[in-house]
Structure 1
Amino acid sequence: MKLESKTICLRLVEQSDAPFILSLRLDERYNQFLSKVSADVDSQKSWIKKYKEEESEGNQFYFIIERKDGVPCGTVRVYDLREDSFCWGSWILNENKPRLAAVESALLVYEFGFRVLGFERSHFDVMKGNEKVIRFHKQMGAVETGEDEDNYYFEIEKEAVEVVKERLKGKIS
């Protein structure tokens, strides 16, 4: 499966992506708001192998974000599939990303969740202090639904994403 936009595409993760994923997750420029992982490529490969079983059952999906020339520039994951909503996270973009990669990758995630999986809304959390990402989601139309000690919780409706897609039509398509 491959989802494409103007400058990037999303493809499902493979075990061979383990070194790239680990390089992102261990890089201090990108991992401040992510759960910690060990610096072991074999552990990452094992995690991917287990994840692929979840993928085959349709329970979660982990994507590599690539530029159109095939250079990987990030990751994103779709998981916690509920009756009417999906969650997404593990969203990392590195310095090799195209200028609009954040917007494009978010819209591709929503395309996948809404069009491919058939959901009407998405839920997700953002760690407190991650102001740039919080601002991004609010500009996309996400609504804060709660918080705890560590996180803010959000939801976004399919209709809100459609409004953003229409507003950005010439820039991202």
Structure 2
Amino acid sequence: MNTLESKTLRLRLVEENDADFILSLRLDERYNAFLSAVPPDVEAQKQWIRKYKHDEQAGNQYYFIIERIDGTPCGTVRVYDLREDSFCWGSWILNQNKTRYAALESAFLVYEFGFEHLGFEKSHFDVMKGNKGVIKFHQRMGAVQIDEDEQNLYFEITKAAVENAKQKLADKIK
């Protein structure tokens, strides 16, 4: 699996030469309010990617560049914390180059990867409490809040819920 494609986007696995793009997203104040901080160091980002590629080869996590079909990168997303029947996803960033339905398309591609390629039945993830738009997005997709702490809400979504959302939103993504 090198890429996954939808109507206007594709996901491809991160490579070391994506370090500048990833760092530019993670350091941009428009996108990083709900992300863990990173140092402004391209070499450190490249080193992180090299380490990550070992995890990818071992099947422990997957980090994707989200790009438009024309090849313009517009975001990132990561699949990690693989459990017996569930995978987590996060590090989801979309920039100003995204397509109109990039959030929907990239989310459905992540679920396709986790459910169809990795064989999971559900997904779990956390969202910082202040990230209202992303919370609403996940709830509309059919995610159910299962826990919370001071900073985060914890969600779970099933393969069936994603399929239901996909049918309801088919006119926007096909």
Normalising by the smaller structure, the TM-score range is over 0.9
Q: Distance in 1 between matches of 2:153 and 2:171?
A: 32
SS of the aligned residue for 1:112 comes to helix
Q: Distance in 1 between matches of 2:145 and 2:121?
A: 17
Q: Distance in 2 between matches of 1:134 and 1:168?
A: 18
SS of the aligned residue for 1:65 comes to strand
* Residue equivalent to 2:31: 30
* Residue equivalent to 2:8: 7
Q: Distance in 1 between matches of 2:172 and 2:51?
A: 38
* Residue equivalent to 1:68: 69
Q: Distance in 1 between matches of 2:40 and 2:160?
A: 41
Q: Distance in 2 between matches of 1:113 and 1:76?
A: 12
Identity of aligned residues (%): 72
- Unaligned regions of 5+ residues in structure 2, if any? none
The structure 1 segments of at least 4 consecutive aligned residues displaced by more than 6 Å after TM superposition are none
State the one-letter code of the partner of 1:140. M
Q: CA RMSD in A?
A: 0.4
State the one-letter code of the partner of 2:57. S
**2:153 counterpart of 1:143:** no
**2:57 counterpart of 1:79:** no
Length, aligned pairs only: 173
* Residue equivalent to 2:116: 115
What is the TM-score with the length of structure 1 in the denominator?
0.99
- Unaligned regions of 5+ residues in structure 1, if any? none
SS of the aligned residue for 1:105 comes to helix
Q: Distance in 1 between matches of 2:43 and 2:81?
A: 25
Q: Distance in 2 between matches of 1:163 and 1:9?
A: 22
**2:172 counterpart of 1:171:** yes
Question: 1:170 offset after TM fit, Å?
Answer: 2.6
State the one-letter code of the partner of 2:44. S
Q: Distance in 2 between matches of 1:170 and 1:29?
A: 29
State the one-letter code of the partner of 2:60. N
**2:43 counterpart of 1:42:** yes
Question: 1:133 offset after TM fit, Å?
Answer: 0.2
